[in-house]
Amino acid sequence: MKLPEPMLIAFEEAEAAAVRGEVPVGAVVADARGRIIARAGNRTLELKDPTAHAEMLAIRTAAAVLGSERLNDCDLHVTLEPCAMCAGAISFARIRRLYFGAADEKMGAVEHGSRFFAQATCHHRPDVYSGFGEDQARELLREFFKSRR
């Protein structure tokens, strides 16, 4: 399956994060037509900020670009299943669709862990599509952590 352009850019961001020594996760916010609004890779180490996940940075930038805290007509493309913090931000931002690559059995909160969007207290649930570039995302993470051991 050919990956959509926003997911290809998310992988570029993930690779750039790895070069910076960050966990290789990339994210892209695109509008309904696929136009890129924001892109980011993890920067938790660089910024000394535990909330500087790729998804959070991309959502913040998209909100600033669009001048709204609501990203109703936007989709998020991310290389790894979002954690609970990022799932919360996705819900609060009213992201329309979430596309992600590799599952994250340890920290993921969409299809694993808390399954954030399935909770009764979740006010907005995006359409979720998983497995986009899953093998590539998993290999990028595997190589990154292998080089750290």
Secondary structure letter of residue 74 according to DSSP? E
Q: Is 21 helix (H, G, I), strand (E, B) or coil?
A: coil
Secondary structure letter of residue 119 according to DSSP? S
Q: Is 65 helix (H, G, I), strand (E, B) or coil?
A: helix
Q: Which of 13, 22, 55, 81 is catalytic?
A: 55
Residue type, position 148, single letter: R
Residue with tokens 């399935």: 118
Secondary structure letter of residue 30 according to DSSP? E
The answer to whether residues 128 and 103 touch, using CB atoms and an 8 Å cutoff, is no
Catalytic: 81? no
Residue with tokens 């969007």: 117
Q: Going by DSSP bridges, is the β-strand pair 74-80/97-102 parallel, antiparallel, or unpaired?
A: parallel
Q: Which residues are catalytic?
A: 55
